[in-house]
């Protein structure tokens, strides 16, 4: 079977950490990437869950802070400020 080359750009520190990980588990980088390729082809999907990082705006901590702030504003404890517009031009 003939071989082909895949080239990918990754952060230099990520590459070093990945190389070190592969070495620690007894693999070289090429073998680890080939394992990934074979798993994708065998399972016909990415062999792990890919999810978007949660939006920090909707975190429980931030929502609690917003609710507290809204209650304070409704209780008359806030101050109105003029909108400050900045021209980027």
Whether residue 15 lies inside any domain: the answer is: yes
Task: Kindly tell me the burial class for residue 72, based on how many C-beta atoms sit within 10 Å of its own C-beta (0-12, 13-18, 19 or more).
Answer: exposed
Whether residue 43 lies inside any domain: the answer is: yes
d(CA 24, CA 28): 9
Whether residue 66 lies inside any domain: the answer is: no
Q: How many domains does the chain have?
A: 1
Please report, in tens digits, the pLDDT of each residue of the chain (89 residues total): 899 999 999 999 999 999 999 999 999 999 999 999 999 999 999 999 888 888 899 999 999 999 999 999 999 998 878 888 877 65
Q: Which domain holds residue 33?
A: 1-50
């Amino acid at each position: 079977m003939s071989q082909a080359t895949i080239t990918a750009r990754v952060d230099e520190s990520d590459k070093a950490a990945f190389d070190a990980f592969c070495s620690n588990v007894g693999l070289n980088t090429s073998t680890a990437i080939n394992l990934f390729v074979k798993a994708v082809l065998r399972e016909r999907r990415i062999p792990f869950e890919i999810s978007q990082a949660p939006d920090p705006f909707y975190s429980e901590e931030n929502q609690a802070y917003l609710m507290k702030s809204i209650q304070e504003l409704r209780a008359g404890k806030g101050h109105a400020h003029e909108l400050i517009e900045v021209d980027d031009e």
